[in-house]
A = this chain, B = another copy of it.
Amino acid sequence: MKQTETGHPPFAVTVDLVVLTIRGGRLQVLVVERGEEPYVGQLALPGGFVRPNEDLPTAAARELAEETGIAESTSHLEQLATYGRPDRDPRMRVVSVAYLGLVPDLPDPVAGTDAAASRFMSVDPLLKRPRRLAFDHGTILADGVERARAKLEYSALAAAFCAGQFTVAELRAVYEAVWGVELDPRNFHRKVTGTPGFLTPTGITTTRGGGRPAQLFTRGPTSQLNPPILRG
């Protein structure tokens, strides 16, 4: 409808990434330091322009790979929301499609093309002072963290923060970091191992972490849980 009104105004379209991981028991987000105006020297979420023939999820995966060296297969990427206030970028009209990425705690971002300037930071101070991030990225970050918190409750997504094989205690640490609460290890264990399709046992045990050997699991086939796996 209405596409012949006066032609169609031109927009620039970008993707911005909220890449979350857990390090040192804290929820962290990938940020870059801006090298150009506006907001030179300020922190920002990684992102970039969508190419003329590129799909949106493809653009998000490409930016993630460029900034971190993380392949799409290693991570979970989903669309978060789209931000298009006319004044959000002083240079021109930019509509940004934000993606939420959950990645395991990998060694520091590979010093590749753009990855040099990118690093992980704890989200808490950034949520308290949203203006430390360029553009409306403080808002985008807050929305991303809220989405992650909400999704842990009724999906099997927490495992996206764990690489390959993980123990129940490691999975519990994910919930505790994202929600900022303490969970009873015994009830947690019963809950997650008792939910069909959530975890796939490998039969292997590990003693990393000390104490009695713990079973290693991988992500189960189920992604959506009803009722919620755990309550926030």
Residues on A facing B (Cβ under 8 Å): 1-5, 8-13, 32, 34-36, 44, 46-56, 79, 81-86, 91-93, 95, 97, 114, 226-228, 231-232
Contacts and interface: CB of A to CB of B under 8 A. Distances in A.
Contacts of A50: 9, 11, 84
A53 B95 contact: no
Nearest to A232: B226
The CB with the most chain B CB atoms within 10 A, among A8, A49, A231, is that of: A8
Nearest to A16: B1
Given A12-B11, A52-B9, A97-B95, A47 B1 contact: yes
Contact of A56 (B12, B36, B82, B227): B82
Oligomeric state, in copies = 2
B85 A82 contact: no
A1 B45 CA distance: 10
A1 B50 CA distance: 12
Contacts of A81: 79
Contacts of A232: 226
Contacts of A86: 52-55
A91 to B, nearest CB: 8
Contacts of A13: 9, 11, 13, 84, 95
A4 B12 CA distance: 12
Contacts of A227: 228, 231
Contacts of A114: 1-2
